Amino acid sequence: MGIAGKTGGLLARALRSHGAGVGGLVRREQQQDALAGEGIDAVVGDLALMSSVDLASALTDTEVVVFAAGSNGGATAVTRTVDGDGVDKTIEAMRHVGLRRLALVSVLPESWRERNLSDEEEYYFAVKKRADVAVARSGLDWLILRPSLLTDDPGTGVVSLGPAELHGQIPRADVAETLAALIHEPRIGRQILELNAGDTPIPDAVRRNIR
């Protein structure tokens, strides 16, 4: 989910560079056509309107589901249907088709705490927290990744990754590369990992979190 977004798109390309087959859900046929040109299979559908059964049909021939969709603290109705209900429907859809591995791109709880947040932004953080809980209690083989403030700067290839990290900022490219590496490491599961800029090469940072 979220393959047409900035982080989701970078993740799809990172996975393709690792030789993985990639698919996703998009809302418009133009997005589907653009991704097809990069060898990425996409299904047209609106997560907010689809049922879990509808979504399950889009998850066939899938090994790992990545939920990277998000409202980014916009209107509460969008936050509820995408960041909240969307995660619940994804979990249900995975159960319908017997999928086990789910990776959720979440948010650091202390993000933007130095600011005066609007009611919509506060609601966003509350919904993201409830989504984390739903995933952690799903019984699936889950992974929750909480990155720092996302930027569009070029990736550095070095990060700080662990159960608890300081909140700073990190390029989306580094988030995508880290998540791609985590997905390819089956020994990492049922863990919440936080991600910030750092000085550890991404492969080493991932290996250090194997339990």
pLDDT tens, residue by residue, 65-100: 999 988 776 789 988 999 999 999 999 999 999 999
Percent of the chain with pLDDT over 70: 97
Q: What's the confidence (pLDDT) of residue 62?
A: 87
**pLDDT tens for each residue of 29-78:** 888 888 888 888 888 888 888 999 989 988 888 899 999 988 776 789 98
Nearest to 179 by CA among 10, 6, 5, 3: 10
Which tokens in the block code for residue 84? 């909240």
Question: Does an H or E element contain 189, and which?
Answer: none
**pLDDT tens for each residue of 106-124:** 998 776 666 677 888 889 8
SS3 41: strand
* Whole-prediction pTM: 0.94
| Averaged pLDDT, 191-205 | 98
Query: What separation in angstroms does the CA of 95 have from each of 3, 73, 91?
Result: 21, 28, 6
Q: What's the confidence (pLDDT) of residue 114?
A: 61
105 and 70 Cβ atoms separated by less than 8 Å: yes
